[in-house]
Amino acid sequence: MPHWIDACATGDIDAEDLIRFDHANQTFAIYHAPEGDFYATAGQCTHEAVHLCDGLVMGHLIECPKHNGQFDYRTGEAKRAPVCAPLRTYPVKVEDGRVFIDVDA
C-alpha cells in the first residue's frame, strides 16, 4: 500500500535542480529533471553522511557536494567514484501541481 506524502509544489524546484525534504526522521532529495519529470531519492550520499541537496544536477546525474561522486537519480545507480553503493529511490507522482513521494516504498 503506497504511503504518499505531499512533499512540495512543482514550482518549488527549478528545472535541473533538487531540494531537500524531511519527513518523520527521514530525509529525501527531490529532483526536477530537465524534461520536467520529478524524482525522489534518499537524501544522503551513500559514500558518507552528506546531504545531496547542495549538490549539482547535470541532466539525470546528481553530483555530491563533498567528493563529487555521482548518481543517476532516476535509478539510484552509482556513476562515479567515490560512490560505489546505489542510492535508494522512491516513487513520485504529481497531482494538481504538487509532488508526492511514496516514503514507504
d(CA 85, CA 90): 16
Using CB under 6 A as the binding rule, the residues of this chain from 26 to 55 that contact ligand FES are 45, 47-48, 50
57 neighbors 49 (Cβ within 8 angstroms): no
The whole-angstrom separation of Cα 33 and Cα 38 is 6
Contact with ligand FES (CB under 6 A) among 16, 56, 82, 88:
82
Judged by beta carbon, residue 3 or residue 80, the one nearer ligand FES is: 80
Contact 79, 58 (CB under 8 A): no
Which of ligand FES, another protein, none binds 84 (CB below 5-8 Å, type-dependent)?
Answer: another protein
Binding site for ligand FES (CB under 6 A): 45, 47-48, 50, 64, 66-67, 69, 82-83
